[in-house]
Structure 1
Amino acid sequence: MYKDIILLTTSKKINNLCIAGVEKENGSWVRIISEDEEIQHAITTNDAMYEDGSMPQIMDIIRIKCKGYKPNYYQPENYVLDDSYYWEKVGTASIRELLRVHPVENNSFLFYDTDKCIERAYFNNLNDKDRYSLTLISPEDICVHVKQWSKHEKKKVTMSFNYSGNRYWYIRLTDTEFENIYLQYQDGNYNYREKCLLVVSLGDVNPKDNKHYKLIAKVLNIK
């Protein structure tokens, strides 16, 4: 099967990539995964490129050959990549075109509650139709936090914002382009005044605490 998607994130995952977007025709979420369990089904750079060797860009419309649909208990959007084929660019979408097929989502909560993570056990009693792990939101009152939390840790960038009447604190970023800008800043809290959309993903379970963390996979500035 082929999937024509508007590419919305190429965020970092185990030194590789988490690839996701929405279908060009109906706006459904699609996450492209590999069969490599050692990298938690991430996509390698070599497998995420066009035939000329160039890399896809955010908002490219891409035709990707997939082996099939493979959801799991917390990510119902997953499709397995057929890595024997190059990706094909078939166009470029604007923000307006994106929102025409996939308007911003206005759920009561960002992934089920107001915390920054979800217990794995939460999914045991959740209906299949209520499961999701990708969302496109329009946040308000954004603050970017830059902090070295302990002496031997690297500096980290997180974000807090309002969504559907709730405040979400210190959500991690996997958008390397955005993160790298703020890693150059001194420790502090920075109001982010650009109008933007966020692609938020629910990550793999953390083996240290058995929780799934909410991750900002892409900051999409609205020009």
Structure 2
Amino acid sequence: MPYLDVLCLANSKKLSGRCIAGIRLDNGQWIRPVSFRDGGCIMSTDYQTSDGNPAQPVKVYSIPFTNRAAKFYHPEDAYYDIKQTWQLIETSTATVTELLNSRLNDSEFLIGNSIDRIPQSEISANKPVPFSLQLISPTNAHFAMSFGKPRLIFYYRDQGYSLAITDSDFLNRHRNITDFPISLARLGYGRPIITVSLGEPFQGAYFKLVAAIMNFP
């Protein structure tokens, strides 16, 4: 696989490292760079960007992919060359918004019901998922805490959801909040969009996770 230009739409917590994912500019498909570490997680020492910062959502990077690493529960996974730099690509807002609009709300697989997980028994090599990443525009979204764990409570197509948040940048920015729940509108998200990702198998299920909370540009 060659260098691919990718619109980053998640850089979230995953095991002891990070889960980075985004949409390819050439075909509009999701791709998730992974390492050979446990669960494919990426450590900060596993990649470098041309501007020296961690990969940031809603920015475009040219990433040196090597070959596919698809799993039946993560078909978007692909290995990358850890020795090569991820090049930050200047991209117009119009290009970014066009790509986002092309993928927003394009399926109900991950957000088809209010349950926050998919049992492992429902997914296998013989019953693979069609995709494990989804971009949606939620309504009435609130940042909440449940038993000390951060969650996003929101509506999508008139269905209510409560999903765990793994977007550590979002959590760091709002770590001093004590009055829960609080709406994303109060936090400055005029038109929030979120990336939902299917997690690694855990306690007999694949959990639906809010991997990124962003403002539509």
With normalisation by structure 2, the TM-score equals 0.87
Paired residue total: 210
Q: CA deviation at 1:15?
A: 3.0
Indicate yes or no: 2:200 matched with 1:204: yes
Give the direction of change, closer, same or farther, for the CA distance of 1:18–1:56 in structure 2 (3 Å limit). same
Kept in 2, the 8 Å contact 1:11–1:176? The answer is: yes
Q: Which residue of 1 aligns with 2:28?
A: 27
Task: Name stretches of at least 5 consecutive residues in structure 1 with no aligned partner.
Answer: 150-154
Q: Which residue of 2 aligns with 1:158?
A: 151
Q: Give me the whole-angstrom Cα distance separating, in 1, the residues matched to 2:98 and 2:126.
A: 30
Q: Which residue of 2 aligns with 1:152?
A: none
Q: Give me the whole-angstrom Cα distance separating, in 1, the residues matched to 2:167 and 2:73.
A: 21
Q: Which residue of 2 aligns with 1:222?
A: 216
Indicate yes or no: 2:96 matched with 1:104: no
Indicate yes or no: 2:176 matched with 1:175: no
Q: Give me the whole-angstrom Cα distance separating, in 2, the residues matched to 1:122 and 1:69.
A: 24
Kept in 2, the 8 Å contact 1:157–1:183? The answer is: no
Letter in 2 for 1:86: T
Q: Which residue of 1 aligns with 2:183?
A: 191
Q: Give me the whole-angstrom Cα distance separating, in 1, the residues matched to 2:159 and 2:109.
A: 8
Q: CA deviation at 1:87?
A: 1.2
Q: CA deviation at 1:44?
A: 1.3
Letter in 2 for 1:45: S
Q: Which residue of 1 aligns with 2:37?
A: 36
Determine helix, strand or coil for the equivalent of 2:173. helix
Give the direction of change, closer, same or farther, for the CA distance of 1:196–1:52 in structure 2 (3 Å limit). closer
Determine helix, strand or coil for the equivalent of 1:98. helix
With normalisation by structure 1, the TM-score equals 0.85
Q: CA deviation at 1:34?
A: 0.4
Q: Give me the whole-angstrom Cα distance separating, in 1, the residues matched to 2:108 and 2:56.
A: 31
Q: Give me the whole-angstrom Cα distance separating, in 1, the residues matched to 2:51 and 2:184.
A: 37
Kept in 2, the 8 Å contact 1:6–1:61? The answer is: yes
Kept in 2, the 8 Å contact 1:60–1:93? The answer is: no
Kept in 2, the 8 Å contact 1:8–1:199? The answer is: yes
**Identity across the alignment (%):** 26
Q: CA deviation at 1:182?
A: 3.5
Kept in 1, the 8 Å contact 2:166–2:211? The answer is: yes
Indicate yes or no: 2:74 matched with 1:82: no
Q: Give me the whole-angstrom Cα distance separating, in 2, the residues matched to 1:105 and 1:142.
A: 16
Kept in 1, the 8 Å contact 2:199–2:207? The answer is: yes
Determine helix, strand or coil for the equivalent of 1:162. strand
Give the direction of change, closer, same or farther, for the CA distance of 1:41–1:125 in structure 2 (3 Å limit). closer
Q: Give me the whole-angstrom Cα distance separating, in 2, the residues matched to 1:92 and 1:113.
A: 35
